[in-house]
Amino acid sequence: MDWGSYATLSLEQDGDALIVTVNRPEALNALANQVVDDLLELTGRLEGIGRDADWPVRGIVLTGAGAKAFVAGADIREMDGMDPATAEAYGRRMHQVTLRLEELPVPVIAAVNGFALGGGCELALACDFIYASADASFGQPEVALGLVPGFGGSVRLQQRVGAGQARELIFTGRRIDARHAHGIGLVNRVFDDAAALMDGARATIAELARVSPTAVANAKRTMHRVQGLGVAEGLEVEAESFREAFTTEDSAVGRAAFVAKERAAFPGR
């Protein structure tokens, strides 16, 4: 699959993992317009993963270049020249990136190797799991700039950590370290350093490569669809997804392999 080439993103396929690195270390990987354009283009291409039972990768790792930052937020210098309409359009384009990440048929892991602030924290929140190095830090410092979260933080931070924790972070603009972020459920796992972080993310994708890709895609879609629904409505969605799972070859292969006491070789359809 041709993933394209980008001014501000580096791509590397490593086995079943696609590693995407936001590559503007001189500005702590801040989300300049060019980065948003590149993320839109890339996420558009990635939508094809799994089509026609072609699963070129089984998971994506999103990280930041350099030793200091995942992404230090929206590009404050570029925002300086924006009027309200341009700012709204900028936020909406980034919303599209985050929605596409959630709609991808494979899990996305944010590997946070330093600052994940403002739009950087919001980009991580659009990923399925957030892994962090011990020296990572998180925050929504928009209020210190007279702004509010604009890339999805008002919605996704409270979904991830609950309303009370989200309000405290957003209203104070406070920065928290990786262990604190882990304690409130923002971060799934904390690793000693950046190398261990990337190893951990790759190992999870190797695990994903052993199970059914259609089932993982179905589970991801279902979990996004039920978010915000009441229990009864959510169970309706789950019933549809469970039914759909039984239409896949993967489910037939998976069940037959269990009965035969063999390891399933999933066809991915």
- Active-site residues: which are they? 122, 142
Q: Where in 23-99 does DSSP place strands (E)?
A: 59-64, 69-71
Instruction: Give counts: helices (H), strands (E), the chain.
Output: 11, 10
Question: In this structure, are strands 59-64 and 17-22 parallel, antiparallel, or unpaired?
Answer: parallel
Distances (CA, A) of 150 to 71, 142, 161, 259: 15, 9, 18, 50
Task: Tell me which residues touch ligand CO8 (CB under 6 A).
Answer: 27-28, 30, 72-77, 79, 87, 90-91, 115, 117-119, 141-142, 145, 147, 149-151
Residue nearer to ligand CO8 on the CB measure, 93 or 269: 93
> Whose Cβ is closer to ligand CO8: residue 118's or residue 268's?
118
**Minimum distance from CB of 17 to ligand CO8 (Å)?**
27
Contact by Cβ (8 Å): 181, 132: yes
Looking at the Cβ atoms of 27 and 219, the one nearer to ligand CO8 is 27
Closer Cβ to ligand CO8, 2 or 80, answer by number: 80
Nearest to 55 by CA among 92, 18, 25: 18
Q: In whole angstroms, how close is the CB of 4 to ligand CO8 at the nearest point?
A: 25
As given in the structure block, the two tokens for residue 256 are 């037959």
Q: How far is the CB of 227 from ligand CO8 (least distance, A)?
A: 21
Which tokens sit at 258? 């269990």
Minimum gap (Å) between residue 159 Cβ and ligand CO8:
17
